[in-house]
Amino acid sequence: METWIDIAENSDFSIHNLPFGIFVRDGRGTPGVAIGDQIIDLHAASKLGQFDSLDFDKAVFEAEILNPFIATGKSTWSGLRQILQDALCDQGSILHEFKSKILVDRLSAEMRVPVSIGDYTDFYSSIEHATNVGKMFRPDNPLLPNWKHIPVGYHGRSSSIVISGTDIKRPKGQTLPPDADKPIYGPSKRMDMELEMAFIIGKPTALGETVSTENAEDHIFGKVIFNDWSARDIQKWEYVPLGPFLGKNFGSSISPWIVTMDALEPFRCESVTQDPEVLPYLKTNGSNNFDINLEVDLSTEEGNTTTICRSNFKYMYWSMAQQLAHHTANGCNLNIGDMMASGTISGKEKNSYGSLLELSWGGKENIDLNDGTQRTFIQDNDSVTIRAWCEKEGKRVGFGSCIGKILPAD
């Protein structure tokens, strides 16, 4: 596909991508699609007739979130994406004729959380990550008995999910210092990030309804980068018996552009071999994982940047289809905009570990930075940038970046 838009060769937002997001125009959230360094204003394009051949209520583009558009269904998402690809290759299109009204500079645009997130679930689906964490606390038996039988997860806090670029305050909470017999209250001393991705529900279900692994992807609109900020010392003290709470819910960051399943289709890859065999409702056929490159940078307050992790989404033990099937196995209902995160994504090599907890092995080993300093966990005014992209046969589909900075506690 040859487009009339000028797109850098290494751009995440090629014509093969066309992700959806919400940007600010004239003081309000506006649905848009990223292409190169531009944003297609879907409301403006719709008013000028670009999507007249599609049968759906164009008023969805007047909303300041994507939920109404997502509710129009998969055929509309795919049809609109195809119309845009065609228009971007046709200088006689409405998009080209009225480009001055429709196209907006992406690099200077303010972005918002693209969907209203009713519920958020975080999984724990990387066997390398689960094994690493288990070894720190249970060296002889790192994986708990249920881990290879179910996609383990917990219900998180949707209201504290924020858009990339939003600063996060270091949380306070109870911790139990080493060799102490009583907890103390104060700022976390073990701030961490977690390299994750998340998918967004695009098709709802009724309470009591289940979704099979075969049909699971029909319920997924697309994916974003997800940084599950974690206060490890608070988490360690509080997690027994009910799991994550204040060590997790103070903030999670997401990238602004939702990459659709259509765009990810060319990057399918074989799933990880699961042993023992899973129960019938979790069985899948074919290629259910995706080859998505992942990279994490840590930047100091002085501006020095070090890449601390290179990983890949293909390492996931439990696929999105299995996560979704298990999530609904008890009849739990899904709503449009619900978000489900993967859990930390780690590979087999140490430089592919997706958290500082693993990279520093529980704080026992220093992480060397490019400026000669070291880290075990995140210091005040450190920033973390996560990038994700797919690349194959000259096609590049990326997610942009997810950036967050840790500010001192009040």
Give the number of residues written for the chain: 410
Contacts of residue 75, Cβ cutoff 8 Å, sequence gap at least 6: none
Q: Are 18 and 1 in contact (CB under 8 A)?
A: no
- DSSP string over 12-39: SB-TTT--EEEEEETTEEEEEEEETTEE
One-letter identity of residue 71: A
d(CA 119, CA 153): 13
Q: Are 256 and 111 in contact (CB under 8 A)?
A: yes
Instruction: Report, as residue numbers or ranges, the catalytic residues.
Output: 129
Q: CB–CB of 379/373 below 8 Å?
A: no
Strands 395-407 and 168-169, by their bridges, are parallel
**Which ranges of 8-161 does DSSP label H, i.e. alpha helix?**
42-47, 67-70, 74-88, 94-97, 99-102, 127-137
The residue written with tokens 């006689």 in the block is: 92
Which among 154, 121, 114 is positioned nearest to 340, based on CA atoms? 121
Q: How far is CA 170 from the centre of its chain?
A: 21
**160 closest CA partner among 93, 249, 66:** 249
Strand partners, 233: none
